[in-house]
Structure 1
Amino acid sequence: MTMTTISINGQRLWQSLMDLAKIGATPKGGNCRLALTALDGQGRDLVTGWMRDAGMTLRVDQVGNIFARRAGRDNDLPPVMTGSHIDTQPTGGRFDGCYGVLAGLEVMRTLNDHGVVTEAPLEVAIWTNEEGSRFLPVMMGSGVFAGKFPLETALNARDHDGKSVADELAAIGYAGPDPVGGRPVGAYFEAHIEQGPILEHEDKVVGVVTGSLGVRWYDVVVTGMEMHAGPTPMPIRRDALYAATFLLQSVIGIANDNQPHGRGT
């Protein structure tokens, strides 16, 4: 048997996505499963149950990242890892993040079906609070794993109700014992649903990421005077909204002048 004869079970992957989508389902067909809520805990329980059923061993670190491992011939080699997240935006879709996790799980199931043993171990990761809808900073679990900010910054972060990441991890049972990061990864791949319309616009099925979005935010206050009523002549008005419209046009103009990569919102 060659690897070219192996393909994943698309219906099984689809069914897993639909089963997970039942947790936190919204009326318009999407999902609301904010990080570290009870619903996020239910989603984690469901997916990790599937991972155990696939014979994978699970580890959870101190920020709640989950790593499910499928052993290889040489388990001293650094793992080849894939994954994503299963927390959502308040009005998120069924696939954002979830596809990356469950596509990775489907690969493991398929390898099991065909009795394939890889040289290095394989891992599927579920990163904590990737969306940042409830807690800041965004990409929290992966950020601590990569050493971009300290564990304490993540654990001490609080939502609008004053609840901390540390307390909410404990509440849903995912305050793990493992240190965050500090171990080698042989390679990391992430399958994802495109956030924009380019693939559909170009009639493409799949694309490869070649860059990442960089964002700058500006808060601008335009101050005018309340003298917009009929008696005030146009030349002496100080209309703040009118002035702001020039800024709005400039933002779009700057983006248009920096194509194809410029964006302005």
Structure 2
Amino acid sequence: MSYAPDSTVDLDRFTASLEASARIGPGRPGGLSRLTLSDADREMRDLFVGWCRDAGLAVTVDTCGNIFARREGTDPDEPPVLVGSHLDTQINGGRFDGIAGVLAGLEVVRTLNDLGHTTRRPLEIVNWTNEEGARFSPPMVASGCFIGAYEVDWVHGLTDDDGLRFGDELARIGYLGDTPCAPRPIDAYFELHIEQGPILDAEGCEMGVVIGGYPSHGMRVRFDGRTAHTGPTPMDQRQNALAAGARWLTMADDIGWAYAAQDGKASAARLVAWPNKAGILSDHAEAVCDVRHPDTSTARVMAERLRRAAFEAAARCGCRCTVEDTWHWGGDIFDAGLVASIRQHAERMGVTHRDIQSQAGHDAYFLARHCPTAMIFTPCRDGITHNNEEFCTPDSFRAGTNVLLHAVVERADRA
């Protein structure tokens, strides 16, 4: 048996791997709550590393906890082809978001082992740390650090709601590696992901060829006021940071509705405050919002409106406003040659497919700044995601994993 154009992955084995993952870090019924750098994350990492070593791969971990599992090629001096995604989940996450992409990469390697085929270029499966950003904000910091967008010390200094440091938690779970998290030559990066939207499922389409991402802008804002008694303090003397944050979030929602007809979106995603108790006004609040739109210029306009709204909300409540962090991603970022290859393999295999834009953030967005990058979307029921009711059948992945296999081999074997 050898590699051929009609070769297919072992879908039963891939499904079994997904089911094993689904037992680690359970959340609400049917879902996962496997926050990054938690004990459950460590357990899943350990399982993944064991699977990789069983497949004959050499495993390394970098200083941001990214895991790379390498299968040598016949020309080991060539830059590797990477395939991956993330194993962490949202606090009310599903069983497939991110996870399917990492395990699809592992299944590609397992299939090539079964077929006895060694690619010319090395292959590396990668698990990126903290893609979700649910515990440490912003999201995708480890893939961002890998391509030089962030400094390692800055990533290590991020804190969660309990004041625990990213770097300390990496060390605690045993995944503070010694390989530098820094740019290195990469031939290409592939990422398979559930769509996280309803389009493919509604259209009965087996696979999406991702041609780009909605331009997106996010920001984390701090509001500072002054504690005071909620009873006798006159309205014109109040400096309620919680109210300032709440006003900003509702203004963000209004911005989203103003652009909804063109498929623009604004999300009021997070608000925390202190003391946040009855009887006292809060003197500190932190909020996170983001905007996205299919048109780059319009997304920038929405982002500027969001920034101005933060200062307006602060002024209305007598508070100070500080934009502590901003991020942006998306656009026409994916490599035309890789996109064409994925489309051609889908057509050759008789897979129903369509071009599609990603509306969520992915590690692939950062990798696209560094090397040729492409994504494959697979359908999920009703587009439900970041929710314990996220659901896919084995057949949801049949087309995407097989197209991934052939697109990766074509890229890795080219002269």
User: Which bin holds the TM-score, normalised by the shorter protein?
Assistant: 0.7 to 0.9
1:42-73 C-alpha deviation (Å, 9 max, x unpaired): 00000110000000000100010010000110
210-219 or 194-203: which moved more? 210-219
Q: How does 1:1-265 map to 2 (within 5 A)?
A: 1-216=2-217, 251-256=256-261, 259=262, 261-265=263-267
1:140 maps to a residue whose letter is V
1:178 maps to a residue whose letter is T
Cα distance between partner residues in 2 of 1:117 and 1:135: 38
TM-aligned CA distance change 1:16 to 1:245, over 3 Å:
closer
Q: Which has the larger radius of gyration?
A: 1
Classify the secondary structure of the residue corresponding to 2:259.
helix
Classify the secondary structure of the residue corresponding to 2:83.
strand
Contact 2:132 2:140 in 1 (8 A): yes
Shift of 1:213: 2.9
1:8-50 C-alpha deviation (Å, 9 max, x unpaired): 0000000000001100112420101000011100000001100
2:60 maps to a residue whose letter is R
1:135-194 C-alpha deviation (Å, 9 max, x unpaired): 012101101001111111100101111111111111111000001122100000000011
Cα distance between partner residues in 1 of 2:146 and 2:218: 25
2:179 maps to a residue whose letter is D
Aligned to 1:238: none
Cα distance between partner residues in 2 of 1:192 and 1:26: 21
Cα distance between partner residues in 1 of 2:129 and 2:32: 17
Cα distance between partner residues in 1 of 2:214 and 2:155: 23
TM-aligned CA distance change 1:217 to 1:40, over 3 Å:
closer
TM-aligned CA distance change 1:2 to 1:56, over 3 Å:
closer
Cα distance between partner residues in 2 of 1:70 and 1:157: 33
Contact 1:66 1:125 in 2 (8 A): yes
1:213 maps to a residue whose letter is Y
Contact 1:75 1:120 in 2 (8 A): yes
Shift of 1:217: 5.4
Identity %: 48
Aligned to 1:232: none
1:66-117 C-alpha deviation (Å, 9 max, x unpaired): 1000011000000011000000000000000000000000000000001001
Cα distance between partner residues in 1 of 2:86 and 2:252: 37
Cα distance between partner residues in 2 of 1:205 and 1:249: 35
Classify the secondary structure of the residue corresponding to 1:213.
strand
TM-aligned CA distance change 1:25 to 1:247, over 3 Å:
closer
1:183-206 C-alpha deviation (Å, 9 max, x unpaired): 100000000011111111222111
Contact 2:252 2:266 in 1 (8 A): no
Classify the secondary structure of the residue corresponding to 2:84.
strand
Cα distance between partner residues in 1 of 2:257 and 2:216: 15
Contact 1:62 1:180 in 2 (8 A): yes
Aligned to 1:233: none
TM-aligned CA distance change 1:38 to 1:247, over 3 Å:
closer
Cα distance between partner residues in 1 of 2:201 and 2:213: 19
Shift of 1:3: 1.9
Contact 2:83 2:189 in 1 (8 A): yes
Cα distance between partner residues in 2 of 1:104 and 1:22: 20
Classify the secondary structure of the residue corresponding to 1:125.
strand
Contact 1:36 1:168 in 2 (8 A): yes
Gaps of 5+ in 1: 222-243
Cα distance between partner residues in 2 of 1:34 and 1:20: 14
Cα distance between partner residues in 1 of 2:260 and 2:215: 13
Aligned to 2:359: none
Contact 1:137 1:154 in 2 (8 A): no
Contact 1:155 1:164 in 2 (8 A): yes
Cα distance between partner residues in 2 of 1:207 and 1:6: 20
99-108 or 134-143: which moved more? 134-143
Q: TM-score, normalised by structure 1?
A: 0.85
TM-aligned CA distance change 1:4 to 1:264, over 3 Å:
same
Q: CA RMSD in A?
A: 2.2
TM-aligned CA distance change 1:71 to 1:162, over 3 Å:
same
Cα distance between partner residues in 2 of 1:179 and 1:78: 17
Cα distance between partner residues in 2 of 1:184 and 1:62: 17
Shift of 1:216: 3.9
